[in-house]
Each structure stands twice: as C-alpha cells, then as structure tokens.
Chains A and B, each alone.
Chain A
Amino acid sequence: MEQHSDQFYALSEDALEKTEQVKRRDMLGLFMPLLRDAAMDELGEFEALRQHNKRIRQHTLDNLDYYLARFELEATNNGNQVHFADTGAELNSIVLDICQQHSARLVAKGKSMVTEETGLNDYLQRGGLDVVETDLGEYIIQLAGETPSHIVGPALHKSQSDIRDLFFDKHPLGERELEDIPALVSEARQMLRETFLKADVGIIGSNALIAETGYSMLVTNEGNGDLCANLPSILIVCTTLDRILPRGEDAAAVQRLLVRSATGQPQTCYTSFYSGPRREGDTDGPLETHFVLLDNKRSDILASDYKEMLQCIRCGACLNHCPIFTSVGGHSYGAVYTGPMGSVLTPLLSSLEEAEALPNACTSCGRCAEVCPSDIPLPDLLRDLRHEQSQQKITPRSWRGGLRLHAFLAARPTLYRFFVDLGVGVMARLGKKKGVFKRLPLASGWTQVRDFPAPQGDTFMKQYKARSRGDE
C-alpha cells in the first residue's frame, strides 16, 4: 500500500468535515467499547489471561530463532514449503513465482494485513493475475479501489447505501433490490462463490504459527479463509515471523483474547488450524502448501526499545477505544496499520520523518493500553517515538525550543516566578472583563478552536505569600 502518513494533518481535517462518516465513527466509538467490555466482564479473567499471553509472547520473541527453526522443521515435515522474506518486495516475488510455476490465473485471498503491507495485490495483478479478496470487508474496498480503514473491519468507513451503490455499479447482474444487509451479503456471497471454485491459488494470513506442530491458525467470521485454503489446489500462507508461538494452547489463549477484544464476541464462527497439503486418504484440501514468513523490519524492532510492539495480536481494540482514531478514521493515518498500534508501527516500518504526525496524534489518555490484550504500553512507546523525533530534530524547532525553555525555567524557581507573576498579572487584568481571550499570539493552536480562559487574578503563590506575610 502507498504511504500517506506525511499527510495526516490534511487527511484528518478532511475526515472531520465529512459529517456522515463522523457520525458513523462516533457510533463505532461508542458501541465497540461497550461490546468489548461486556465480553471481558463475562470472561472474568482478562488480566490473568493477558499477563499469560504477554509472558508467552515475550518468551517466544526472546527465543525467536529457536522457535522459527522448530516451526520450519515441523511445517516441512508436514509437507509444507517454508520461505523467508526479508522485505515486502521479496514476499511479493516469492508469491508470484509460486503462482507462475502453476500457471495460475485467479487468486482467492483471505484477509491479510501483511499482504496489504507489501502491496501484494497490485504486484500480482501487474504480473497478469486476477486477485479477488474474499473477506466481505476486503472485497468491498477492493471493488471500490480503496484501502482498509481498520485492521479488523476494513470497510467500516462505508455505509450500507455506499455498499449498495457499489454493488449496483460493479456487479454485472440484472434487476434486483439489495434493500437490506442480508441481500447485500447474499449477493457478495454469490459473486465470491465463483471465485472460490475457479481460483488456482488461495492466499491467507495467519493469527498464529505454532512451532510445536508446524500448524497455522486463522480466525474468521465468514469462513472465507477455509474456502481459500481448501478449494484451490495451491495454498500460500503469508504472515510475519513474529506471529510464532510455542504450542497449540498458546494459540488458543491468543484466540480467546483476540476475539473478545476485536468484536466483543465470545467466539468467532471459525477458528481453523492448517497443517499442510492433502494427505493420502484425505478427500479434500490443497495439493501444495507454502508458508511465506516476512521480516520487513521485525528483526530491527525486536532488537530495539520497541520490541513490545511485536506482542500485538492485531485485535483492533486500541483503535476502537482511541478517541483520535474514532474522530478521524483509519484513512487519515495513510498507512495499513492505524490507531495507536499503527502510530507505533508505521514510523518503525517507514520512518520517523515520514510518519512525523502519528506519534503526536495521541493525548496519552491511556485507554489503548488499558484494553490492549497484549499489555503493550502504547502511550509509553508513542512518547518514546516523540523523544526520538525530538532528538533527531524532526520535531519543529519552535516546539522543541518552547518546551525546553519552559523546562529550563521550571528548574529555576526565582526566574520562573519572575516571569509568571508578571505575565499572569497582566493577563488577569486584560482578561477580567470577558473572562476569556479570543485570540492570543503565543497560543494560536489553542485559540484557533477555543477561547483561552483568563487567569483568575494574581498567581496563587503571590497571593499565598501575601497572605502569609499578613499572618505574621
């Protein structure tokens, strides 16, 4: 996917002007947290499970070489072919090669953020293949020529009538109504069914790779992953190498947290484990299966202070709870990964300059970390990124200067007192009549959208000292 993270400010302003979309996002921001909270209350062991999950992921990441080797061994023994890709481009070319070796023409894809990251669809299409996304949300945005706006609900930005118009426009079918959601779903299903049956290659992502068995786990609500995995004769699982976990139980723990955090469901409709190609006696399944494990800077992240970000299970809870994400929507982030998790990941995958705005699109409110089932300290990581931006002089000079001057004075009480007593005294007198300032030269960011309350009078310290002197 093309990056537009450098345009966060402009994109978010546009997003705030689209009132219909704002309303829909407000509803999302209201209901998703309610659903998630209810599911967690019912689970009743969120904290314990989250700590368990965190320990496992940390352990695996600390011993990634071991678990990768084990996974490769087991998966190969099961008849899979395992490939490693350092970069997105490498993953794309490995996948295209496999498709070409089998003279494939049509690829059915299950939802995979990793292949969004590498821009696989475009690459395969340029290579002469037809690629059809089969997750309903992904299918919709593919038809619309758009990118996902949410890691779990890629088409959440579209209304029912947007989707209806889109289907009328893009589907070569005759008269029909499409008045309700079931009608829309059934039309999409009808179209997708043909893809499943005709596809030569199926491509899916993975929520977990299990080292002990060489299996991969995929969690879906639509079952499209299973159809992509079982109907075409070739299956390619594309994922990043940090998805690996030691045992099946660990994947089950992830699944329990993932589903509830993502949609508030106690369970998704499908949780599937894929072992490898069809064995003797099996009645169905792919004839040949591949794993393509992408690094794309994960090794760098693993070696950095941002290692904890690799614990992410892509549940999207941090997005749904982030008031900035729900205000401006995923497309404003200009990247595959959005919201708090994206604001950490995107700069690490692209650069601190290009994604300058993202770590700053945060009030440190902490709601993301509160709900994160992987216990990732997202606000701390975002602050650390701001620290690096400042050190590398990416932060505008006026900001750095202003904040350092403030800190300089704050560490020097006499000087500080002199300035604040002076400034506050003047402002209090000027602002007394109205109670607020409509405009302030040094606080234009503030007064652009709000009034600046006038100080009540002299500073507390000045009044307090005067009173204490009076007491004596």
Chain B
Amino acid sequence: MNHSTAPQVSLFVTCLADLMRPSVAFATIRLLEHAGCEVSVPVEQTCCGQPGYNSGEYESTIPVAKRTIELFEHAEYVVAPSGSCAGMIVHHYPKLLTGEWRERALALAEKTWELTSFLTDVVKLDTPPAHPTQLPPLTYHDSCAGLRELGIKEQPRQLLKSLCGVDVTEMQQSDVCCGFGGTFCAKMPDISAKMADDKLRNASATNAAILTGGDLGCLLNIAGRARREGLDIEVRHVAEILSGDLYGPAIGEREG
C-alpha cells in the first residue's frame, strides 16, 4: 500500500521513444519527478498498436490494446510523451473494444494524459527545472492527434514560457499535418515529402533554430526530410527542451 500523496504516474514510454530516442522518455521522467510525481515504468509495455490500427488491422490490434489496458489500468495516472499514443488509448481503444473490455478501456482513458497537458492541466507545474537554459528561438509543430483528439495547443507553449522563459515563434500552418501519418509516410512517400517540405518551409520562414513538437513520429519525419534536403534546423522533442536536455545531438544529427 502506498501512503504517499504524490501523484503516482505510470509512464507510457511509447515505442518510438523506446526504440529511437530514449532521451525523450528520460526527460519525461525528470519532468514528472520535478512536478512532484512518483514515476513507475511498467517494463512489459511495447507499443499502443497505432500502426496496425490506422491501417485498418483492427483484429490484430485488439490483443495489443488489451495488453496495454492490463498493464496500465491499475495506475493512478498514465502519461505518455505523445499526443497520438495518448489519443489512441483515450479515443480509439474504446472504439475498438466491446463489452467488459470497453468499460476497462474507458476507465483507462479517464486517467491517461499526454505529457504537456498532464503537466499543465493536472499537476500545474510552473517552476523551472534545476538548470534553466537560454534557448534560441524555437517554433512549434502541432501534431494532429494531440491537437485534434486531445485539444493540445496552449499547454506546450505555456510550459515553454513558464519553464524555459521562451515564447514560441509561430509558423504559418503550424497545425497542418507534416505528412507522417504512421504508415502513410511509407505508402505515399512523394506526397508525404511534399507535406514535410511545406512544414520545413514554414518553420524556416520564422528563422527559428529549433523545431519542436510533442510527437516523435512527426519529428522523425520532419528531421529525416530536413537531413535529406540538407536543411539545418534542429528538431527536438518538447520534453527534452522542457527538461533542459539540449546537449546531445538533435534528431537525425550526428554526434559532435
């Protein structure tokens, strides 16, 4: 029995952070702890099942959803550094499941949060972490699922302001899809590249040095396209920036 009054957060790492960029998950833990939460990481977690689900593979996604529910349903809060993974749990698990499982999905949905909205809307974090850094101008890409499924728009901006003292330099069409779309980017690469180019053009027009956002999928897509086109804008997850982790290579950059 836990008698602590600190919010108990189960971290949903997200498969992309796990595989591609662990620093996002470590930054998330630091931020949550800084906000006074006790963080645990269920080590049996894998992926929320989005790639298959969005491609219409409903049947094979159901066991994935059920496993995630079993792993996380006893948590007080579930937090993910990704609007689309949180959106998957909040909105799509209940659609995918029926009967008792649907009830359990709904119960899990109730306590599942995307990181920046959890920090602003639940624990109301407003003190900067230990090492405030002077940030270069940065621009924010609003990832679709976070924005439209969970209403995440102001939260990261507010945190960047209150924790890092920086105002986001807004780009045009910050809320238009970057062309990632899970498997879309591989199914229709040319269209996807055009969309990423539009995003990069809008971002570059702000003269921001960093493009940030709350979803690693989009950021990998944008960074990958930027590298292919030889553009030198740094791409970093907002959790890294908020936690002051700006020293390692940005996404897709080499070390040193």
**Chain B min CB distance to A358 (Å):** 11
Which stretch in B53-61, B98-106, B132-140, B153-161 binds the other chain? Answer: B53-61
Q: Is B180 located at the chain interface by the 8 A CB criterion?
A: yes
CB <8 Å contact, A436 and B149: no
Given A399-B183, A464-B43: A30 in contact with B57 (beta carbons within 8 A): no
CB <8 Å contact, A450 and B52: no
Main secondary structure of the interface of B (DSSP, over half): helix
How many angstroms from the CA of A399 to the CA of B19 in the assembled complex? Answer: 21
Q: Is B120 located at the chain interface by the 8 A CB criterion?
A: no
CB <8 Å contact, A390 and B56: yes
Residue of A nearest to B44 (CB): A413
Q: How many residues of B contact A (CB 8 A)?
A: 75
CB <8 Å contact, A460 and B180: no
Q: Is A365 located at the chain interface by the 8 A CB criterion?
A: yes
Residue of A nearest to B199 (CB): A323
CB <8 Å contact, A323 and B20: no
Residue of B nearest to A386 (CB): B56
Q: Collect the chain B residues with CB atoms within 8 Å of residue A9's CB.
A: 188
Those of A365-385 within 8 Å (CB) of chain B: 365-367, 369-370, 380, 383-385
Residue of A387, A400, A417, A460 with most partner-chain B CB within 10 A: A460
CB <8 Å contact, B220 and A453: yes
The residue from B20, B61, B187, B227 contacting A407, defined by CB atoms under 8 A apart: B61
Q: Is B252 located at the chain interface by the 8 A CB criterion?
A: yes
Q: Collect the chain B residues with CB atoms within 8 Å of residue A457's CB.
A: 22
How many angstroms from the CA of A201 to the CA of B225 in the assembled complex? Answer: 55
Residue of B60, B64, B193 with most partner-chain A CB within 10 A: B60
Q: Collect the chain B residues with CB atoms within 8 Å of residue A417's CB.
A: 46
Given A365-B144, A450-B227, A460-B26: A410 in contact with B187 (beta carbons within 8 A): no
CB <8 Å contact, B192 and A449: yes
How many angstroms from the CA of A420 to the CA of B46 in the assembled complex? Answer: 10
* Chain B positions 219 through 240: 1 when the CB is less than 8 Å from some CB of chain A, otherwise 0: 0110111011000000000000
How many angstroms from the CA of A424 to the CA of B15 in the assembled complex? Answer: 12
Q: Is A182 located at the chain interface by the 8 A CB criterion?
A: no
CB <8 Å contact, B177 and A407: no
CB <8 Å contact, B13 and A407: no
Residue of A363, A411, A433 with most partner-chain B CB within 10 A: A363
Residue of A432, A449, A451, A452 with most partner-chain B CB within 10 A: A449
**Chain A min CB distance to B191 (Å):** 5
Q: Is A271 located at the chain interface by the 8 A CB criterion?
A: no
The residue from B54, B64, B194, B248 contacting A16, defined by CB atoms under 8 A apart: B194
CB <8 Å contact, A449 and B51: no
Residue of A362, A413, A456 with most partner-chain B CB within 10 A: A456
Given A362-B184, A449-B228: A461 in contact with B60 (beta carbons within 8 A): no
CB <8 Å contact, B43 and A16: no
CB <8 Å contact, A13 and B190: yes
**Chain A min CB distance to B131 (Å):** 20
Q: Is B23 located at the chain interface by the 8 A CB criterion?
A: yes
Q: How many residues of A contact B (CB 8 A)?
A: 72
CB <8 Å contact, A390 and B55: yes
CB <8 Å contact, A432 and B255: yes
The residue from A361, A364, A403, A408 contacting B191, defined by CB atoms under 8 A apart: A361
The residue from A323, A383, A388, A389 contacting B54, defined by CB atoms under 8 A apart: A383
The residue from B44, B56, B173, B248 contacting A384, defined by CB atoms under 8 A apart: B56
The residue from B47, B172, B225 contacting A30, defined by CB atoms under 8 A apart: B172
Which stretch in A54-62, A74-82, A440-448 binds the other chain? Answer: A440-448
The residue from A323, A403, A449 contacting B60, defined by CB atoms under 8 A apart: A403
CB <8 Å contact, B252 and A451: yes
Q: Collect the chain B residues with CB atoms within 8 Å of residue A424's CB.
A: 19-20
CB <8 Å contact, B148 and A403: no
CB <8 Å contact, B185 and A445: yes
Q: Collect the chain B residues with CB atoms within 8 Å of residue A448's CB.
A: 189
Q: Is A26 located at the chain interface by the 8 A CB criterion?
A: yes
**Chain B min CB distance to A410 (Å):** 4
**Chain A min CB distance to B103 (Å):** 20
**Chain B min CB distance to A367 (Å):** 7
Q: Is A266 located at the chain interface by the 8 A CB criterion?
A: no
The interface of chain A, by Cβ under 8 A from chain B, is 9, 12-13, 16, 22, 26, 29-30, 323-324, 327-328, 360-367, 369-370, 380, 383-390, 395, 399-400, 403-404, 406-411, 413, 416-417, 420, 424, 432-436, 443, 445-446, 448-461, 463-465
Report 19 cross-chain contacts, Cβ distance below 8 Å, ordered by A residue. Answer: A12-B190, A13-B190, A16-B194, A327-B191, A363-B180, A363-B195, A366-B148, A404-B60, A407-B52, A420-B19, A436-B254, A449-B193, A449-B225, A449-B228, A450-B193, A450-B221, A453-B224, A454-B252, A461-B43
Leading 9 A-B pairs by shortest Cβ distance:
A363-B181, A445-B186, A386-B56, A450-B224, A387-B56, A460-B22, A435-B254, A365-B177, A453-B252
Beyond the given A403-B51, A435-B252, A460-B13, please list 5 additional residue pairs across the A-B interface where CB-CB is below 8 A: A12-B190, A365-B148, A386-B54, A400-B57, A455-B20
